[in-house]
């Protein structure tokens, strides 16, 4: 029994966080009051994609005061802040700035009551339901630490506040506006994202693919309408749409290797207005997800082939072939460069304890951070996960076999502390590692 107890306590000590005082941890803790106020500001002033003007102004003001050279209006409401500190690598640190059209139901005293007009002109409630308010706060806190610790690193920081991540458009807009030509091109890219499945006080990482290629595809299934009592005189687009939906599933089950993740989901189908009327058109909306580019090509080519082949098989005329439209909001897979992951993981394990640095499975969600690393020549990149769930809340949910609110939920409420301080310390420690001065 004594040996068992000794083994248990030894394991607990190995997994426990380091409580040793150091300059970075002490400085982050001392800065928390300022950062918490900043977080509440961002949380109560959320802005929709393409409307992040005030958030951009606040980020710019914060970094101008720290001595960064700041440019606004990059790719819309994008912010680029550059701090040069001698010879060394160039590192990009990204935060996203947009919020979502969600009505907050967290019950927090600082819950958002903001409203805005969507692109359609419809007025909606707005909430930072994806944690971008945490991201902006950690980004600012990291800038504050690094500006105060210039004797500990050498190189160039390129810190960007990216708009329109939720639309999958912000990274592309900033790149198209000269992010890597007007400003120093990075040698590596870093970012973080809060996790709704990880306790606050922990860091998660995936090595290799972390998030998926995401495509949105619209299919207009055309037909020749008529009376429901005389189907032989029509070409029924609902029947064709049903065949297309069924056959699309063979792309994943029969054309993609079982070892390669892939998803083809028909999320919306609209057609017809009345029981006895065969309509002229059915509209399908698809989400298509993959990791590898070759798998993505198989899926996208297959969708077009299946839609048209099914129409031909049912004898639809050539002028009634389905119309396939791939939306512009494509986001490429986020790939965490293994060498960069392997370099930073032990830094965090030494600082926080091995038990607080957790390997996570990749997900089929999308994130346009991956676009920065795909610019040729490709740039090593790493987005890590930042635990944001109150440990007591997670324990209670597990005990009751209940699911926690996910990202984008109206009830998603990150635990500010230690989420914010953990994020600042982790990102700052990562920069101090990759920009360590040469002896």
Residues tagged active-site? 98, 165
418 neighbors 386 (Cβ within 8 angstroms):
no
Helix (H) or strand (E) holding 311: helix 293-313
Residue 377 CA to chain centroid, in angstroms? 23
284 neighbors 241 (Cβ within 8 angstroms):
yes
Round to whole Å and give the CA distance between 65 and 294: 46
Round to whole Å and give the CA distance between 290 and 267: 17
Helix (H) or strand (E) holding 36: helix 23-44
Place of tokens 């720290």: 66
| Residues 6+ positions from 275 with CB-CB distance below 8 Å | 228
Q: Omega of the bond prior to 377 within 30 degrees of 0, cis?
A: yes
225 neighbors 278 (Cβ within 8 angstroms):
yes
Strands 78-85 and 69-74 turn out to be antiparallel
**3-class secondary structure, 52:** coil
Strands 208-211 and 188-199 turn out to be unpaired
CA distances to 22, 61, 70, 141, 278 from 80, rounded to whole Å, are: 30, 12, 6, 16, 54
Round to whole Å and give the CA distance between 200 and 106: 17
52 neighbors 132 (Cβ within 8 angstroms):
no
Half-sphere exposure of 35 (CA within 13 A, CB side): 29
Residue 340 CA to chain centroid, in angstroms? 19
User: The tokens of 231 are what?
Assistant: 């189907």
Burial class (CB in 10 A: 0-12, 13-18, 19+), 20: exposed
**3-class secondary structure, 412:** coil
In 3D space, the residue among 326, 51, 324, 104 whose CA is nearest the CA of residue 215 turns out to be: 326
């Amino acid at each position: 029994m004594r040996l068992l107890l000794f083994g248990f306590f030894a394991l607990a000590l190995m997994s426990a966080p380091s409580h040793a005082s150091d300059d970075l941890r002490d400085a982050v803790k001392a800065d928390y009051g300022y950062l918490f106020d900043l977080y509440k500001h961002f949380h109560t002033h959320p802005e929709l994609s393409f409307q992040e003007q005030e958030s951009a102004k606040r980020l710019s003001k914060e970094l101008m005061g720290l001595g960064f050279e700041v440019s606004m209006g990059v790719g819309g409401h994008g912010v680029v802040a550059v701090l040069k500190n001698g010879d060394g690598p160039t590192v990009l640190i990204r935060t996203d700035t947009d919020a979502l059209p969600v009505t907050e139901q967290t019950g927090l005293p600082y819950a958002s009551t903001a409203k805005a007009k969507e692109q359609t002109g419809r007025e909606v409630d707005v909430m930072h339901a994806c944690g971008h308010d945490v991201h902006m706060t950690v980004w600012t806190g990291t800038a504050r630490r690094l500006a105060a610790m210039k004797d500990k690193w050498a190189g160039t920081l390129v810190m960007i506040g990216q708009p329109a991540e939720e639309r999958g458009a912000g990274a592309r807009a900033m790149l198209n506006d000269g992010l890597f030509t007007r400003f120093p091109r990075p040698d590596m890219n870093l970012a973080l994202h809060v996790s709704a499945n990880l306790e606050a006080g922990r860091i998660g990482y995936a090595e290799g693919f972390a998030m998926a290629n995401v495509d949105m595809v619209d299919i207009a299934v055309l037909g020749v309408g008529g009376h429901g009592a005389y189907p032989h005189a029509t070409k029924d687009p609902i029947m064709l749409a049903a065949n297309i939906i069924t056959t699309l599933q063979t792309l994943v089950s029969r054309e993609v290797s079982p070892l390669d993740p892939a998803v083809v989901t028909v999320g919306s189908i609209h057609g017809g207005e009345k029981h006895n009327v065969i309509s002229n058109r059915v509209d399908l909306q698809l989400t298509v997800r993959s990791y590898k580019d070759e798998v993505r090509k198989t899926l996208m080519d297959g969708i077009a082939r299946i839609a048209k082949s099914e129409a031909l098989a049912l004898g639809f005329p050539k002028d009634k072939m389905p119309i396939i439209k791939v939306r512009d909001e494509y986001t490429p897979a986020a790939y965490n460069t293994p060498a960069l992951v392997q370099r930073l993981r032990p830094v965090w394990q030494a600082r926080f304890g091995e038990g607080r640095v957790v390997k996570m499975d990749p997900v089929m969600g999308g994130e346009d951070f991956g676009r920065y690393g795909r610019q040729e020549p490709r740039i090593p990149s790493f987005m890590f996960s930042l635990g944001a769930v109150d440990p007591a809340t997670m324990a209670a949910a597990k005990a009751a076999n209940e699911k926690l609110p996910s990202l984008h939920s109206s009830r998603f409420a990150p635990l500010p502390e230690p989420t914010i301080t953990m994020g600042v310390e982790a990102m700052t420690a990562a920069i101090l590692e990759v920009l360590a001065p040469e002896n």
